[in-house]
Amino acid sequence: MNQEDNKRLDVTIKSTSRDLLAFMKLSTSRKKRFEKASSEPITTDPMNELATKLHPIRQFLIIKSIKNETKSTKTFKLIPNKDLGTTELAYFRPGQYLSLKVNVNGTEITRPYSIASSPNDALKGFYELTIRKEEAGFLTSYIWDHWEVGTQIESSGPEGFFYFDRLRDSKQIVGIAGGSGITPFRSIAKAIIENTIDAKLTLLYGSSNEDDIIYYDELKALEKKYPEKFKIIYILSCEVVSLEGCEQGFITADIIRKHCNIDNSSIFLCGPQIMYNFVEKELEQFNLALRRIRREAFGEVKDVVGLPGYPQELAEKSFKMIVHMGELTEEIPALATESLIVAMERAKFAPPSKCRSGECGFCRSQLISGEVFVNPISDWRRAADKKYGYIHPCSSYPLSDIEIKVPKDQ
Ligand code: FES
């Protein structure tokens, strides 16, 4: 390789003779280490221990405090429940979520919630989850009525792929958040400020009105203190906007252009389906490579009827669903507009699930017979799974009577 080649590959070879010498000494030094090592059998496996710490199957937590953020939003501070065996919290990548498992009047359900605190906070011994009460929300109504300081919670380890990766992403991040989709960005912003991530975040945050803005004072204070690392722009869709420095309307291409240097950025989106539909159309104007746009899969689709390709004529129907799970076989009703996982949970099955949006594959099941509609926006199944009839019940909807074989939860 000549000097030109070296320059092109940006490789500097400092000393080949030193490397060669080190290599020649390798077997001698390894032999010495073997001789010094204990002859007792190794009873621990540090690699496995580390892997279990980082990826626990479940974590037992306890509510330490609750803070009201807005009229409909609360932040729950969770610490390890040592009595149930969780002595420390799993570290995570900012943007990841926890899947909570909650028993609501005998029905076991799971929901993913983004971790709103930073990885450093996990090392200090706590996570924060900010949860918005949904209108007629089955789980959130239960949480509002029952969760208090001292309540015990069960969660998964940190999960999900919505995080900054320095090998893939630009150091300039444009975050686009809608409503409670702000929560992973709080974690990312804090991680940037704490130097866990070497990046800069410009955040466009859309809300319907001032009262719905979450973390207003906190994020404004961060922006003021660390302007070189974090900037936030509020966009309110209500008619009258009195908050200083807010944009009025929606997150359009013009607003993105006005506040961000999109050409050098990676774009991270998190919010409700309606925001994705709008913002993704606006982003088309920038002709960005797909890999530059990351999108949080944020739980189940609320309105399957509005998805492309959904057969509208079946929307009112209810079907029969035969479920095999372990030794159990049962026939249950399944509404056409409801995911198979919801139908099973209502019938008091506890199928495995984490992301509830077709992404993690944890609920992967075999469709023995019948037809389902698979949400085309979140169909991340492998080609072989599609070919051999495997589906993700969290993002599949019945189009006929069906029979399904579901794995048991661990
Ligand atoms: S729960 Fe993640 S794919 Fe179904």
Q: Is 13 helix (H, G, I), strand (E, B) or coil?
A: coil
- Rg from Cα positions in the chain: 25
> How far away, in angstroms, is 28 Cα from ligand 1 center?
51
Q: Is 240 helix (H, G, I), strand (E, B) or coil?
A: coil
Q: Is 282 helix (H, G, I), strand (E, B) or coil?
A: helix
Which run of H or of E encompasses 319?
A: strand 318-325
> How far away, in angstroms, is 171 Cα from ligand 1 center?
30
- Say what the pLDDT of residue 214 is: 97
- The stretch 326-333 carries a mean pLDDT of 95
Q: Does pLDDT of 125 surpass 70?
A: yes
Percent of the chain topping pLDDT 70: 96
**CA 396 to CA 384: how far, in whole Å?**
17
- The stretch 353-370 carries a mean pLDDT of 94
**Where does ligand 1 bind, in terms of residues with CB under 6 Å?**
353-356, 358-363, 392, 394
For the entire predicted model, the pTM comes to 0.87
**Checking phi first, is residue 146 left (phi over 0); if not, alpha (psi -120 to 50) or beta?**
alpha
Probe target for ligand 1 pocket from 98, 392, 409, 410, with the most ligand atoms within 8 Å of CB: 392
Q: Does pLDDT of 6 surpass 60?
A: no
Summarised one tens digit per residue, pLDDT across range 61-116 is 999 999 999 999 999 999 999 999 999 999 999 999 999 999 998 888 899 999 99
Q: How confident is the model at residue 138 (pLDDT cuts 50, 70, 90)?
A: confident
Q: How many residues does the chain have?
A: 410
Q: Domains plus CATH for the chain?
A: 53-155 (2.40.30.10), 172-295 (3.40.50.80), 313-406 (3.10.20.30)
Q: What are phi and psi of 286, to 5 degrees?
A: -95, -5
Summarised one tens digit per residue, pLDDT across range 109-122 is 899 999 999 999 99
**Checking phi first, is residue 368 left (phi over 0); if not, alpha (psi -120 to 50) or beta?**
alpha
Half-sphere exposure of 357 (CA within 13 A, CB side): 22
Probe target for ligand 1 pocket from 156, 298, 300, 394, with the most ligand atoms within 8 Å of CB: 394
Angle between helices 216-225 and 183-193 (to 10 degrees): 30
Residue 398 in contact with residue 334, Cβ under 8 Å? yes
